[in-house]
Amino acid sequence: MKSIEEHILKDQSEIQSAKEAGDTPKVRHLTEELHSLEEYKEHHKEEIEAGDHHDPNALELFCDANPDEPECLVYDD
């Protein structure tokens, strides 16, 4: 995806298609992903308003939700 907004729209569309197809596991996965994207967008409003609309990767979403996890800590030398 080129932007977080594009990814959100794609997930919403795919959730609807998966519901129509009766694919419950896919609906559950996409719903969780959509929730993470919307939370990320809410937490990074200022950056998005400043023009940063990048589509966050899985690590960015994870660290946004779990900033104290070892994978997310940044150490200065």
Q: For the full predicted model, state whether its pTM sits above 0.95.
A: no
Helix spans in the chain (H): 4-21, 24-43, 45-49, 58-65
To the nearest 10°, report the CA torsion of 39, 43, 48, 49.
120
pLDDT tens over the chain, length 77 residues: 789 999 999 999 999 999 999 999 999 999 999 999 999 999 999 999 999 999 999 999 999 999 999 999 988 87
Give the number of other Cβ atoms within 10 Å of residue 32's Cβ.
11
Which two three-digit tokens encode residue 5? 């907004």
